[in-house]
Chain A
Amino acid sequence: SQQGEEDPQALSIQEGENATMNCSYKTSINNLQWYRQNSGRGLVHLILIRSNEREKHSGRLRVTLDTSKKSSSLLITASRAADTASYFCATVPRSARQLTFGSGTQLTVLP
């Protein structure tokens, strides 16, 4: 079963706008990772944030982590049509190494 939920389930924005996706989880974690999946293909790793980190940047991506609220957010700035994909958060618990995935957000960026 999924560790947590993501919202929104679907998000549609215009090119150039920012997209924010949220992820909540239930148990203590070692790290949280964000992935992108295009049209049911393989997952592309975007960014990893550790439990002792609060914010991380990678290009147009900004990830935050609030362990007190057990939540994370992924911000994509200046979105492009090529950003259209499903985005998943996934957590790694303290005592293991396998990922537990959230429910995912389907992002559509309109040209």
Chain B
Amino acid sequence: SAVISQKPSRDICQRGTSLTIQCQVDSQVTMMFWYRQQPGQSLTLIATANQGSEATYESGFVIDKFPISRPNLTFSTLTVSNMSPEDSSIYLCSADLEGETQYFGPGTRLLVL
């Protein structure tokens, strides 16, 4: 299976600030995905990041709040902007490698005070 890494693994931030999360895949992939997991909940897709085009956001998520970059086929970033305590979650990136199987990074645990 492929290796997907994320940085930072966790962070504690003040409200009103922004945090950029990095996701690195050890092989080239067409599509990368960003998910949010609120405390005690399941995962919800934020957006799909394609290299060379703008990210596609799911209902309830907007680019101003969650800007995404995808500069090449192995890397993506998600920024959580103007944070509030409601943004406290685990943020996970994934990529569909080996055809159909999606693999996940270890997640970034964010706490906003």
Contacts and interface: CB of A to CB of B under 8 A. Distances in A.
The answer to whether A and B come from one shared complex is: yes
Interface of A: 1-2, 30-31, 33, 35, 40-45, 48, 50, 88, 90, 92, 97-104
> Lowest 5 CB-CB distances: which A-B pairs, in order?
A42-B106, A43-B104, A101-B43, A101-B42, A42-B107
Contacts of B109: 40
- Report, as a range, how many residues of chain B touch the other chain: 20 to 34
B106 A45 contact: no
A40 B45 CA distance: 17
* Majority secondary structure, B binding face: strand
Contact of B100 (A1, A48, A98): A48
Contacts of A41: 106-107
5 contacts: A1-B44, A40-B107, A97-B48, A99-B45, A101-B43
Given A40-B109, A43-B92, A43-B104, A98 B42 contact: no
B102 interface: yes
* Majority secondary structure, A binding face: strand
A98 B94 CA distance: 9
A88 B43 contact: yes
Interface string B28-45: 000101000100001111
Interface of B: 1, 31, 33, 37, 42-45, 48, 90, 92, 94, 96, 100-107, 109
B92 A102 contact: no
Contacts of A1: 44
A99 B42 contact: no
A97 B94 contact: no
